[in-house]
Amino acid sequence: MSAAIDLLLEPDWIIPVEPAAIVLEGHALAVDQGRIVALLPASEAASRFQPRQHFRLPGQVLLPGLVNAHTHAAMTLLRGCADDLPLMRWLNEHIWPAENRVLSPQFVHDGTLLAAWEMLRGGITCFNDMYFFPDAAARAVHEAGIRAVLGMAVLEFASAYAVDADDYLAKGLKTRDAWRDQPELSFALAPHAPYTVADKTFERIATLAAQLDVPVHIHLHETLEEIDDSMRRFGVRPIRRLERLGLLNPGLIAVHAVHMQPDEVELLAQTGCAVAHCPTSNMKLASGIAPVAAMVAAGLRVGLGSDGAASNNRLDLLQEMRHAGLLAKVASGDATVLPAHRLLRMATLDGAAALGLDASIGSLVAGKWADLCAIRLDDWISRPCHDPASHVVYVADRGQVSHVWVGGILRIYDGLPVGTEPTRLIELAESWHNPRGTSHSASTLAS
Query: What structural domains and CATH numbers belong to the chain?
Result: 3-64+369-414 (2.30.40.10), 66-354 (3.20.20.140)
Backbone angles phi, psi at 275, to 5 degrees: -125, 135
Q: What is the pLDDT of residue 434?
A: 61
Regarding predicted confidence, which is higher, 200 or 437?
Answer: 200
Q: What is the pLDDT of residue 441?
A: 47
Q: What is the pLDDT of residue 84?
A: 85
**Cα–Cα distance, 360 to 357 (Å, whole number):** 6
Would you say residue 279 has pLDDT above 50?
yes
- 431: exposed, middle or buried (Cβ count in 10 Å: 0-12, 13-18, 19+): middle
**H/E segment holding residue 413:** strand 409-413
Would you say residue 290 has pLDDT above 90?
yes
pLDDT confidence tier of residue 436, bands split at 50, 70 and 90: very low
pLDDT tens for each residue of 115-170: 999 999 999 999 999 999 999 999 999 999 999 999 999 999 999 999 999 999 99
Would you say residue 89 has pLDDT above 90?
no
Say if residues 192 and 154 touch (Cβ distance below 8 Å): yes
Amino acid at 101: R
Q: What is the DSSP string of 336-352?
A: TSS-HHHHHHHTTHHHH
Would you say residue 278 has pLDDT above 70?
yes
Question: What's the rounded mean pLDDT across residues 228-241?
Answer: 98
Say if residues 429 and 83 touch (Cβ distance below 8 Å): no
**Cα–Cα distance, 36 to 31 (Å, whole number):** 5
pLDDT confidence tier of residue 281, bands split at 50, 70 and 90: very high
pLDDT tens for each residue of 366-397: 999 999 999 999 999 999 999 999 999 999 99
Q: pTM for the full model?
A: 0.96
pLDDT confidence tier of residue 440, bands split at 50, 70 and 90: low
**Cα–Cα distance, 359 to 361 (Å, whole number):** 6
Pairing of strands 401-406, 372-376: antiparallel
Q: What is the pLDDT of residue 110?
A: 98
pLDDT tens for each residue of 12-71: 999 999 999 999 999 999 999 999 999 999 999 999 999 999 999 999 999 999 999 999
Rounded to the nearest integer, the mean pLDDT of the chain is 95
Q: What is the pLDDT of residue 236?
A: 98
Q: What is the pLDDT of residue 407?
A: 98
Residues 6 or more apart in contact with residue 363 via CB below 8 angstroms: 16, 17, 18, 64, 348, 349, 352
